[in-house]
Amino acid sequence: MFLKALIVFLLIGVLASLFAGLGFLFKDSGKPDSRRTLYALGVRIAFAAALLMAIGYGLATDQLALSAPWHGR
């Protein structure tokens, strides 16, 4: 249960960083020295990497089950 909550938290973090970066892109369009969009991209990449690691861990330890009909378990 903890792993699923962690995955949801990381997904929300990715989406929040995505929309924050979009807001920074619009607000800082006239400022060539602003790096807030770049920092939001870095945060989004970190959240996405952690999300992939959490999903991989869940699949490796069978805490997340593949229930697709074509999987054939």
Structure letter (DSSP) for residue 63: S
Determine the Cα–Cα distance for residues 47 and 10; give it in Å rounded to an integer.
6
Greater confidence, 35 or 15? Answer: 15
Q: What is the mean pLDDT of residues 45-49?
A: 97
Q: Is the pLDDT of residue 33 over 90?
A: no
**Residue-wise pLDDT tens digits, 16-29:** 999 999 999 999 88
Mean pLDDT of the chain: 91
Percentage of residues in the chain with pLDDT exceeding 70? Answer: 97
Structure letter (DSSP) for residue 28: T
Burial class for 57, CB neighbours closer than 10 Å (0-12, 13-18, 19+): middle
